[in-house]
Structure 1
């Protein structure tokens, strides 16, 4: 599935970037009117594609990373940052979503300041290759009743250019939550604030 039409303008370089196609690990962009095909990790016309799927893409330009959601137009004036900064546009139902890498695997997460840890279902943990059964056992109350959970440290969690190691996670037996939760075990280690419909995360390390 290919998503279409995300527009982004960068200043002071005045480069216009238009995403005309988004797919897993690849994006079709128009940079100042020139169409380029970029795979994850590649740089074309001064734009580096960090990662992408059919819904969103993370790019880097002039040292600044942005998470682009389909249908969201962004305009900004950026200078070279001294620390990694990630901007997340407000998405579905006012929530913030991000493209993350957990132990090296790409996955979409929901920012949840009410969650103490990174929250994963056991089904998701298995897909990410996490040996959650080695964690500390406990129990959680869910809509489906009392279920087992496991608390452990993830090797690393990355959002854009922000990469943290040894982040605490809670894995709940079953298929809840269906979207992994980016909880306070990650968020407490970055500077976080909202600005004009964007959630801005700044690396403090």
Structure 2
């Protein structure tokens, strides 16, 4: 038997055990991806994350850990990759912003229609905008189940997004001069 077959046979019992465990139990587990904890089995599998052994115990969730560590950029800002309604975005974390703010261009790609017409005073002056409720926003592996309010047209062009309090207020945030950690609140 060649070395490839021996390696494959070595892991076969583990693969069978994992398949027999069922998807429901995998969904209840906590995974570690580097310095980040997530509870999404699909993301964990894609990234090759390690199971922490935390999760469902005795029918109730022991804890749900999920966090994103955001290093400070050379310009002193915190940026994290994510999505708005499934469209890729780069978030500039702005703890002083009321809403998640996106460009009209990104709103078109993300199919964000309607919303309440408002005017905002921004760093670039007064801007006509609209606020769309219940938008699916993901910052790293973090999201808000019912979506968040997004202000459309408050920033310039492209995929840059302000990550404001309509998203951040759902999480615990700690930071120092080198990094920011955004994590689920332990319930």
TM-score range, shorter chain: 0.5 to 0.7
Q: Secondary structure at the match of 2:160?
A: coil
> What is the match of residue 93 of structure 1?
75
> What is the match of residue 184 of structure 1?
165
Aligned length, in residue pairs: 134
Deviation of the 1:120 alpha carbon = 1.0
Q: Secondary structure at the match of 1:191?
A: strand
- Does residue 87 of structure 2 align to residue 105 of structure 1? yes
> What is the match of residue 57 of structure 2?
none
After TM superposition, the score normalised by the length of structure 2 is 0.60
Deviation of the 1:203 alpha carbon = 1.0
Q: Greater share of strand residues, 1 or 2?
A: 1
Asked whether the equivalents of residues 71 and 78 of structure 2 are also in contact (C-alpha less than 8 Å), the reply is yes
Q: Determine the C-alpha separation between the residues in 1 that align with 2:120 and 2:169.
A: 22
Larger radius of gyration, structure 1 or 2?
Answer: 2
Identify unmatched segments of 5+ residues in structure 1.
Answer: 1-39, 50-59, 65-80
Identify unmatched segments of 5+ residues in structure 2.
Answer: 1-41, 53-62
Structure with more relative contact order (C-alpha pairs < 8 Å, separation 6 or more): 2
- Does residue 50 of structure 2 align to residue 62 of structure 1? yes
Q: Greater share of helix residues, 1 or 2?
A: 2
Supply the RMSD in Å over aligned alpha carbons: 2.9
2:120 aligned to 140, 148, 153, which one? Answer: 140
Deviation of the 1:178 alpha carbon = 6.7
